[in-house]
Amino acid sequence: MDHEETGCRPPPEGPILCINNCGFFGSAATMNMCSKCHKDLILKQEQAKLAASSIENIVNGSSSGNGKEPAITGTVDVQVDPVELKTISLPPTPASGSEETSDPKPTEGPSRCTTCKKRVGLTGFKCRCGNLFCGSHRYSDKHDCPFDYRTAERDAIAKANPVVKAEKLDKI
């Protein structure tokens, strides 16, 4: 059969280069673009649609007569839902004189070792005494820890092991 009779065209002789001249080969399924360029094009189109719909939601369907045309060519079907307005009640604000007495949040700087003031960041060790230490001062004997480990462990053992007393039997 001849190609003219069936209406089909033979495939091109060689591979088709991407129309964006990126150096890769394109295909007819991706509009003669390589897969990366085609993916970027689809992504840009989706972002343009989202931008157009967000602008449409902001404007809420009213057209502004300033004569500016959108930079996006093509039609975008957008369904605009009615926007519900909610009122938010704020707590009463204190008097201007009491604002000065309120405690501002202290700015927390970089975490540092309590003993040597070395920056520890995420690798700092929190001691049971409540301070933060570097790797060399993390042990209680290295930073003169005021926490009493002996009594804390005694209390923990006493709490975990209650005293068990058997009932006394009457002697016969």
For residue 148, list its beta bridge partners. Answer: none
Phi, psi (deg, nearest 5) at residue 37:
-65, -40
Q: Is the overall model pTM greater than 0.85, yes or no?
A: no
The tens-digit pLDDT sequence of the chain (172 residues) is 555 566 666 555 678 888 888 888 888 888 888 989 999 999 999 999 988 888 888 876 554 444 444 455 555 555 555 555 555 655 655 554 444 444 555 556 678 999 999 999 888 999 999 899 999 998 888 888 889 989 999 999 999 988 777 777 777 7
CATH 4.10.1110.10 maps onto the chain at: 121-159
Contacting residues for 120 by C-beta, under 8 A, at least 6 apart: 111, 112, 113, 132, 133, 134
pLDDT value, residue 82 = 56
* Contact assessment for residue 143 and residue 127, using Cβ atoms and an 8 Å cutoff: yes
Domain 121-159 class in CATH: few secondary structures
| CA 123/CA 134 separation, integer angstroms | 7
For 33, 41, 42, 47, 136, the CA distances from 20, given in Å and listed in that order, are 7, 11, 14, 20, 58
pLDDT value, residue 89 = 59
pLDDT value, residue 94 = 53
Q: Which helix (H) or strand (E) holds 132?
A: strand 132-133
| CA 99/CA 101 separation, integer angstroms | 5
* Contact assessment for residue 165 and residue 146, using Cβ atoms and an 8 Å cutoff: no
